[in-house]
Amino acid sequence: MLSLVLGLTVFLVFALPPIYYNAREFGSDWPRLLASISRSGIPFAENIRAADLQAYGTEIVGGAAGLFRNVAGGVFGLFTGIILTVYFIIDGQRAFHWTVSLFPVRHQERLSNTLFKAERRMRNWLLGQTLLMLALGLASFVVYFALGIKYFYVLAMYACLANIIPIVGQLSSVVLACTVAAFDSPHKLVGVLIFYAVYSQLESGFLTPRIMKSTVDLSPLAVIIALVLGGALAGILGALVSVPTAALISVFVDEYLVKRKSAAAAA
């Protein structure tokens, strides 16, 4: 955890200053950039108006106070999750045995075995998802650097971290990268779209089946339902833990609810 905090601090020290200065330039050059986009030949770009974008931004953000509350709530939730993770790493085994001891003795062995099975399944998912995150982050870094997109290192890191949330995370990184590329040139925007079109096919057809060979084995429909429920209940953190939680629930359903024929009856 200490190395994670130090690495994030070093990254922000080098990443935030250029973003801050460019954001100030962007604020003064906003009309000119918007006019260049409307003349760039991008489909429907001529319909973009600065006043409409400002109105939509105000509605989405809900004002400065609403933005501050959302950001503060997200930061608080993130650090709460990190602190809970540290405590469960340190004292997780005792908490596990204490929780199991609350159930009747005759059920404790079966419950422990089920939880260990779910733990292995969730660990495999986390390992596989980490490899997919690194693959997308490295590929994005190389492509964004080759295209000459501003803040390519920040966009690549965001793509890496956001990919921990299946489907939604990658879509958000596509939208963010396309937005930054569109303010530079239409060619960079087309390059980003081509990259994500090729990478999504590569990930779904080659990387995911091989990396996730021994993981959660959830259907795409179950993943989408889990993401919707997790996001509705707890926002970003809910979406983050939704898929491993779905894996945990699926193990319990398979162990306690699914009815199977005996070996003799099946034969």
Q: Is residue 232 part of a domain?
A: yes
Q: Distance (Å, rounded) from C-alpha 70 to C-alpha 117?
A: 37
Q: Distance (Å, rounded) from C-alpha 95 to C-alpha 64?
A: 41
Cβ–Cβ < 8 Å for 242, 166: no
Give this prediction's pTM. Answer: 0.66
Which burial class, exposed, middle or buried, applies to 126 when counting CB atoms under 10 A from its CB (0-12, 13-18, 19+)? middle
Q: How far is residue 180 from each of residues 120, 142, 149, 249, measured CA to CA in Å?
A: 40, 16, 7, 39
Q: Is residue 210 part of a domain?
A: yes
* pLDDT for res 40: 55
Q: Is residue 19 part of a domain?
A: no
- Highest-pLDDT range among 18-32, 66-80, 97-111, 245-259: 97-111
Q: Distance (Å, rounded) from C-alpha 266 to C-alpha 183?
A: 64
More confident residue, 83 or 101: 101
- The separation between CA 180 and the C-alpha centre of its own chain, rounded to angstroms, equals 19
Q: Is residue 187 part of a domain?
A: yes
Q: Is 242 helix (H, G, I), strand (E, B) or coil?
A: helix
* pLDDT for res 67: 47
Cβ–Cβ < 8 Å for 231, 238: yes
Long-range contacts: 238-243, Cβ < 8 Å, 24+? 239/165, 239/168, 240/164, 240/165, 243/125, 243/166, 243/216, 243/218
Q: Distance (Å, rounded) from C-alpha 111 to C-alpha 88?
A: 19
Q: Is residue 69 part of a domain?
A: no
Cβ–Cβ < 8 Å for 155, 144: yes
Q: Is residue 47 part of a domain?
A: no
Question: Could you tell me which residues come within 8 angstroms of residue 126 by beta carbon, excluding any fewer than 6 positions away?
Answer: 244
Helices 63-101 and 50-61 pack at an angle, to 10 degrees, of 40
Write out pLDDT tens, residues 18-57. Answer: 766 666 665 556 556 655 655 555 555 555 555 555 555 5
Q: Is residue 126 part of a domain?
A: yes
| Domain coverage including residue 190 | 106-258
Helices 105-147 and 63-101 pack at an angle, to 10 degrees, of 140
- Highest-pLDDT range among 7-11, 60-64, 129-133, 206-210: 129-133
Which helix (H) or strand (E) is 19 found in, with range? helix 2-38
pLDDT at 214 over 80: no
Mean pLDDT, residues 207-213 taken together:
68
Cβ–Cβ < 8 Å for 151, 19: yes
* pLDDT for res 50: 53
Write out pLDDT tens, residues 53-83. Answer: 555 555 544 444 454 555 566 667 767 777 8
Q: Is residue 93 part of a domain?
A: no
Residue % of the chain over a pLDDT of 70: 70
Mean pLDDT, residues 186-199 taken together:
90
- Number of domains making up the chain: 1
Q: Is 127 helix (H, G, I), strand (E, B) or coil?
A: helix
- Highest-pLDDT range among 167-171, 195-199, 234-238: 195-199
